[in-house]
Amino acid sequence: MNDLIAQIEHARSIIAARISVEPQIALILGSGLSELADDIDNPTIVPYAEIPGFPSTTVAGHRGDLVIGRLAGQPVAVMRGRFHFYEGHSMQQVTFPVRVLHALGCTTLLATNAAGGLHADWRVGDLMLITDHIFLPGLAGHHPLRGPNDERLGPRFPAIVGAYDRELLALIRASANDLGIPLREGVYLMLSGPAFESSAELRMCRLLGADAVGMSTVPEVVVARHMGMRCAGLSLITNLALPDGPPANHQEVLDAGAAARPKVAALIRSFLSRIGRVATTPTSPDRP
């Protein structure tokens, strides 16, 4: 990208001209979860197609707009639909929106996704708090920070240890506990997709220490951490991804998202209502 900062500023200014609330918390809603944005008070809706530098979404079940307003009293910017590497976008394009949300004032990112559960005793509809990740495409060279680094955005070699913020995780646990929502925890492994995994690949994922597998989230978290944003992630287990189980399919992913929506919405609202002070304190880019 030529002059990334100028592109971020261009996109930021187009959005900023339309909004009256400065968002502090960025939410990315994954497959089947987009309708959570319908709960936002006085929303300003900006279609991605009207934001310079944003690619357009192509996946059924993913909408494409940015919704800015208040949710549970907090100023939020919600990505209704995200960009995936498997759509053909570069890792830089996939993560460009996070750069723009940061420029708009967001200091916290909560990313949600649909994921395949790698444990036989997990159930469709379970929620998993992401405690760490494995970035397979990134390790293989498809990394959003590859290429020249602009120190104004973040350091050349950002730390990813502790990327999922301890305080935010504690708030989500407390919210789940209050609401009586069982919460699993574990490592999210991102692979590029779009094909679902082979049996041997699923065995590999388990051997690597993953608890859930999916095709998103990690690039956005890495770039958010590059800029010092606080991050948290939630996976909705939409299917079990077991070496000897039935193959996954996209429709079950969407159906599970729809069924779990009220639970996820309640959890996110509760989390937001607790967040206040934490959200306004960005961390240094390489602080665990």
Please report whether residue 92 would count as binding ligand HPA according to CB under 6 A: no
Q: Catalytic one among 11, 210, 215, 260?
A: 215
Please report whether residue 215 would count as binding ligand HPA according to CB under 6 A: yes
Please report whether residue 219 would count as binding ligand HPA according to CB under 6 A: no
Is 84 assigned a catalytic role?
yes
Kindly report the backbone phi and psi dihedral angles of residue 28, in degrees, each rounded to the nearest multiple of 5, phi listed first.
-115, 125
Please return the burial class of 83, using the count of CB atoms within 10 Å of its CB with bins 0-12, 13-18 and 19+.
buried
Residue 44 CA to residue 231 CA, distance in Å, equals 24
# chain residues binding ligand HPA, by CB under 6 A? 13
Is 215 assigned a catalytic role?
yes
Closest distance between ligand HPA and the C-beta of residue 243, in Å? 12
Q: What is the largest CA-CA distance in the chain?
A: 53
Please report whether residue 158 would count as binding ligand HPA according to CB under 6 A: no
The number of beta carbons lying within 10 Å of the beta carbon of residue 255 is: 16
Among 4, 76, 111, 241, binds ligand HPA (CB under 6 A): 241
Q: Which residues contact 262 (CB under 8 A, 6 or more apart)?
A: none
CA neighbor of 136 nearest in space, from 238, 219, 223: 219
Closest distance between ligand HPA and the C-beta of residue 241, in Å? 4
Q: Catalytic one among 11, 26, 31, 210?
A: 31
Kindly report the backbone phi and psi dihedral angles of residue 269, in degrees, each rounded to the nearest multiple of 5, phi listed first.
-60, -45
Is 229 assigned a catalytic role?
no
Residue 201 CA to residue 18 CA, distance in Å, equals 46
Q: Cβ distance 94 to 85 under 8 Å?
A: yes
Closest distance between ligand HPA and the C-beta of residue 188, in Å? 10
In the complex with ligand HPA, which residue's Cβ is closer, 108 or 238? 238
Q: List, as own/partner pairs, every contact residues 137-140 make where C-beta atoms lie below 8 angstroms and the sequence separation is at least 24, other chains included.
A: 137/85, 137/91, 137/190, 137/191, 137/192, 137/219, 138/91, 138/190, 138/218, 138/219, 138/222
Is 86 assigned a catalytic role?
yes
Please report whether residue 85 would count as binding ligand HPA according to CB under 6 A: no
Is 10 assigned a catalytic role?
no
Please report whether residue 253 would count as binding ligand HPA according to CB under 6 A: yes
Is 216 assigned a catalytic role?
yes
Q: Catalytic one among 77, 79, 103, 114?
A: 114
Closest distance between ligand HPA and the C-beta of residue 76, in Å? 24
Is 62 assigned a catalytic role?
yes
In the complex with ligand HPA, which residue's Cβ is closer, 33 or 103? 33
Q: Cβ distance 225 to 163 under 8 Å?
A: yes
Beta bridge partner(s), residue 96: none
Binding mask 114-153 for ligand HPA (x = CB under 6 A): xxx-------------------------------------
**Number of residue whose CB is nearest ligand HPA:** 116
Is 199 assigned a catalytic role?
no
CA neighbor of 272 nearest in space, from 38, 74, 29: 74
Q: Catalytic one among 34, 87, 190, 229?
A: 87
Please report whether residue 238 would count as binding ligand HPA according to CB under 6 A: yes
Residues taking part in catalysis: 31, 62, 84, 86-87, 114, 215-216, 239, 250
Residues forming the site for ligand HPA (CB under 6 A): 114-116, 196-197, 213-215, 238-239, 241, 248, 253
